[in-house]
Amino acid sequence: TDKMEKADIIRTCIESLAENSLDSTLASFFWFSFAFLLFSYEGAVFCTVSHRIVNTLDAMWGKKNDNYLYFGKFPARFDDILNFIPARISFYLIIFSCFFIKECDYKNAYVIGKKFRGRHASPNSAWAEAPYAGALNLKLAGPVHYGDFFCDYPYLGEGSLDADPAHLKTALTLFQYSIFSSLIFYTFLLFLDKQNIQSKVRLKIFATGNKTLMNYLYSLFSRTIVRSINHGWQSPLCIF
């Protein structure tokens, strides 16, 4: 933060809020509801906790560095897979929430979100960040310093760089409304015909795609562990 102005810090807070609203909350709602429809309460809890574990591992070791490159690569890629569908659903839930906040421009949230949702190194992050940028008429992300290391990331949005505390307050309100909208949406899913969905979806998935998916995950995990060992990383979780 030594090289950041007040507006830059506020924009960073909004960007972090938007990204983590997906990672830590909205995606977990999805996995609870989805797993409940296919399995049971036990399955819903298992999938939700598993998602939180993978997301936490991604946050702790997913960043690229020499010590944990290959160890962090597996949770980072797995987190991308788990958040792929929730990110796309959350995109529309965030835009929907803008309807109820007078400080948010819901039309611009959709236009900017649609335009910039693919302009991020992550396949999912911009799906949450871009609608925030459009709703608040700001530019989020962009060039950043990590200590002495400079990253020339692209901006998300076409608005102003001059963010102020009012923008952050509106972003917090949008976050709260998106959580509420998601709770309503995913709670509605819990009342769908569970048995009918299980017979049409779960059996088909396990009959046709389970072997292919498991082979892919096993291959990815094995290659990651082997490469990590070969590169001599040190980690408190190396026993796994």
What is the 3-class SS of 97-166, one letter each residue?
HHCCCCCCCHHHHHHHHHHHCCCCCCCCHHHHHHHHHHHHCECEECCEEECCEEECCCEECCCECCCCHH
pLDDT for the residue 149: 64
pLDDT of residue 40: 76
Cβ 171 vs Cβ 157: under 8 Å: no
Question: Which among 119, 152, 158 has a CA at the least distance from the CA of 135?
Answer: 158
How distant, in Å, are the alpha carbons of 14, 151, 190 from that of 114? 19, 24, 29
Alpha carbons within 13 angstroms on the beta-carbon side of residue 233 total 22
pLDDT of residue 71: 65
Q: Looking at residue 193, what is its pLDDT?
A: 57
Q: What is the pLDDT of residue 142?
A: 78
What integer pLDDT is reported at residue 181 of this predicted model?
Answer: 93
pLDDT of residue 236: 35
What's the pLDDT at 95? 95
Average pLDDT by stretches of 10, the chain with 240 residues: 78 90 89 84 84 81 63 76 91 94 92 87 86 92 69 81 92 94 88 60 51 53 52 37
| Token pair belonging to 12 | 């960073």
Looking at residue 231, its pLDDT comes to 46
- What is the pLDDT at residue 240? 30
Render the burial of 182-197: b for 16+ CB within 10 Å, e for the rest. Answer: beebbeebeeeeeeee
Phi, psi dihedrals of residue 109, rounded to the nearest 5°: -60, -40
